[in-house]
Structure 1
Amino acid sequence: MSILINKDTKVITQGMTGKTGQFHTEKCQEYANGKHCFAAGVNPKKAGESIFGIPIYASVNEAARETGSTVSVIYVPPAGASAAIWEAVEADLDLVICITEGIPVRDMLEVRNKMRAKEAAGGKKTLLLGPNCPGVITPEEIKIGIMPGHIHRKGRIGVVSRSGTLTYEAVAQLTEIGLGQSTAVGIGGDPINGLKHIDIMQAFNDDPDTDAVIMIGEIGGPDEAEAARWCKLNMKKPIVGFIAGVTAPAGKRMGHAGALISGGADTAEAKLAVMEECGFKITRNPSEMAKLLKAML
């Protein structure tokens, strides 16, 4: 069992014919069941060709219909990425994972509003992970995205993070002390994104094969506090929490587009305080995340 994806997931790569898309699709194909999982690429100008034995189709709709794929991953450059997301949503996929960084906020606003309108009109709800995220991996089954596969081990700890690098840090620490991961999810650091911490925590709470979770956040926005309050009322599993940006000055954007302190409630200290109140074991030292979790099991 895992959340979002597993060894039987069929994947379409949007932007597979570009340099970044090719590089990462090949790496994902080489990981675990990747050869079986990566079923299609999309590029209207190169339809009928293939790369790494993966056929390229003219549209997401056609690729999904021909291969039975339910998930897409997007490496399309920023100017066209929101249109790529919408194409996948219109094709009624289950999940769209957008790796692209630097999509204009206005583009994301438009596509989010269109997604909401489609759902409100009774259309299928397509989940969006990202943009500006490393993707998702169910170790030893499938990886979709840019994370280094070799640091992951199959196990029973969930990881969710807004920071790509800190996702890898938490995973590597867990693996080093003999704790594998059920699924590791990078939700991305943009101000307008799809799945939030709260959505992933709900999924981990419902997953019988996840025993505990490391939740990593950043300064900026209310998402971590909202997830923590939900966890206080509903979560049955131990959680270690970390927030990046303890020393960040107010009003300065730090790395991710969404990492900007605007008021008092979205500083690292304020978020850590809420998480602690809600029963998380918090740490201000990212090198201690896995050790703390192991002590709680």
Structure 2
Amino acid sequence: MSILIDGNTRFVVQGITGRSGLFHAQQCRAYGSQVVGGVTPGKGGSEIDGFPVFDTLEQAVRATGATASLIFVPPPAAADSILEAVDAGLELCVCITEGIPVRDMVLARAVLEGSKTRLVGPNSPGVITPGQCKMGIMPGQIHAPGRIGVISRSGTLTYEIVRQLTDRGLGQSTCVGIGGDAIIGMKFSDVLKLFNDDPDTDGVFMVGEIGGTAEEEAALWIRENMTKPVAAFVAGVSAPPGKRMGHAGAIISAGKGKATDKIRTLKECGVTVADSPIRMGEAMIEALRKAGLSVA
């Protein structure tokens, strides 16, 4: 099993005629994913590299039977693309776009709350179930099918932990990049619940960073609900207050969002925390062994 996507997932790419949209649609298709079309307003009825193009997402869903979408739309229009996914009744929307105006995302998040659509992102590297489906920009070749779930706010560190897990013979069930913007869709705790309920996931690795309280909230959820071992790494220990470190959501403000506070809370809640990005794989192995699970 997996969470969110599998080999049966059919998705369309919103913004497919743009350079990034087309390139990554091609890469997802080459991985074996069922990319069944794309959306660019005004270009409906055309085709690009074998992908049928539609004017609206609703038209694309009706014609292709897609249940998910992948967004490569410029920031000013990206929130509208998320709302279009909600209107089309999609189960999943993965938004790669970075820098969507906060006001736009406040409105989009409010609409999402009352819908059946799950949003991953924005500013996300995507979602991948190794060997089955890739929806995003991650390098597929570093992933391997297995039983470790990965959740991350960081794209680059997602790739690093996946590489370390794969090198140690620990494949992944599904990897979810929840995004680094200040306002996102699915949070750590939302994805943790899915992994906790997945019988084919044995343990989970979380990659957090400075800013906000998502890691602390996840730690409390883990303590109260998680039945599987969790390991983590939090980036930004040396980040100075008031300075944004890469992502829009990665900023220490009003004395909140410090990496040290997040690490302390995670440890207090039973999470095994890596003290360096080069030790993330070892931390996952340690967490599995603590739980009495064998590691090859």
Residue 158 of structure 2 aligns with an amino acid whose one-letter code is: T
Match in the other structure for 1:77: 74
| SS of equivalent residue, structure 1 residue 64 | helix
Q: Which runs of 5+ in 1 are unaligned?
A: none
2:55 to 58, 63, 66: 58
What do residues 161-210 of structure 1 show as CA deviations (whole Å, max 9, x unaligned)?
A: 00000000000000111110000110011011100000011111000010
| SS of equivalent residue, structure 1 residue 147 | coil
What is the rounded CA distance, in whole Å, between the counterparts of 1:271 and 1:235 in structure 2?
18
Match in the other structure for 1:41: 38
Does residue 117 of structure 2 align to residue 141 of structure 1?
no
What is the rounded CA distance, in whole Å, between the counterparts of 1:284 and 1:290 in structure 2?
11
Match in the other structure for 1:25: 25
Q: Displacement of 1:113 after TM fit?
A: 2.2
Equivalence map 1:42-191=2 (5 Å): 42-116=39-113, 119=114, 124-191=115-182
Match in the other structure for 2:270: 279
Q: Which runs of 5+ in 2 are unaligned?
A: 289-296
What is the rounded CA distance, in whole Å, between the counterparts of 1:285 and 1:5 in structure 2?
30
Residue 119 of structure 2 aligns with an amino acid whose one-letter code is: L
Match in the other structure for 1:263: 254
Maintained 8 Å contact 2:231/2:283: yes
What do residues 117-159 of structure 1 show as CA deviations (whole Å, max 9, x unaligned)?
A: xx1xxxx421111000100000010100000000000000000
What is the rounded CA distance, in whole Å, between the counterparts of 1:292 and 1:253 in structure 2?
27
| SS of equivalent residue, structure 1 residue 46 | coil
What is the rounded CA distance, in whole Å, between the counterparts of 1:174 and 1:52 in structure 2?
35
What is the rounded CA distance, in whole Å, between the counterparts of 2:256 and 2:107 in structure 1?
27
Maintained 8 Å contact 2:232/2:283: no
Q: Displacement of 1:258 after TM fit?
A: 0.3
What is the rounded CA distance, in whole Å, between the counterparts of 1:51 and 1:13 in structure 2?
12
Q: Displacement of 1:67 after TM fit?
A: 1.0
Residue 89 of structure 1 aligns with an amino acid whose one-letter code is: V
Residue 53 of structure 2 aligns with an amino acid whose one-letter code is: I
Residue 151 of structure 2 aligns with an amino acid whose one-letter code is: V
What is the rounded CA distance, in whole Å, between the counterparts of 1:114 and 1:230 in structure 2?
25
Residue 229 of structure 2 aligns with an amino acid whose one-letter code is: P
What is the rounded CA distance, in whole Å, between the counterparts of 1:168 and 1:138 in structure 2?
14
Q: May I ask how many residue pairs the two structures share in their alignment?
A: 288
Q: Report sequence identity in percent.
A: 55
Match in the other structure for 1:3: 3
Match in the other structure for 2:235: 244
| SS of equivalent residue, structure 1 residue 44 | coil
CA RMSD of aligned residues (A): 1.0
| Alignment CA distance shift 1:227-1:296 (3 Å) | closer
Maintained 8 Å contact 1:265/1:271: no
Q: Displacement of 1:296 after TM fit?
A: 3.3
What do residues 58-107 of structure 1 show as CA deviations (whole Å, max 9, x unaligned)?
A: 11111111111110000011111111111111111001110001111111
The TM-score with structure 2 as length reference comes to 0.95
Q: Please identify runs of 4+ aligned residues in structure 1 that moved more than 6 A.
A: none
What is the rounded CA distance, in whole Å, between the counterparts of 1:281 and 1:295 in structure 2?
7
Maintained 8 Å contact 1:240/1:292: yes
Maintained 8 Å contact 1:205/1:237: yes
Does residue 207 of structure 2 align to residue 226 of structure 1?
no
| SS of equivalent residue, structure 2 residue 243 | coil
| SS of equivalent residue, structure 1 residue 246 | coil
Maintained 8 Å contact 1:264/1:270: no
| SS of equivalent residue, structure 2 residue 109 | helix
Q: Displacement of 1:295 after TM fit?
A: 3.1
Residue 45 of structure 2 aligns with an amino acid whose one-letter code is: G
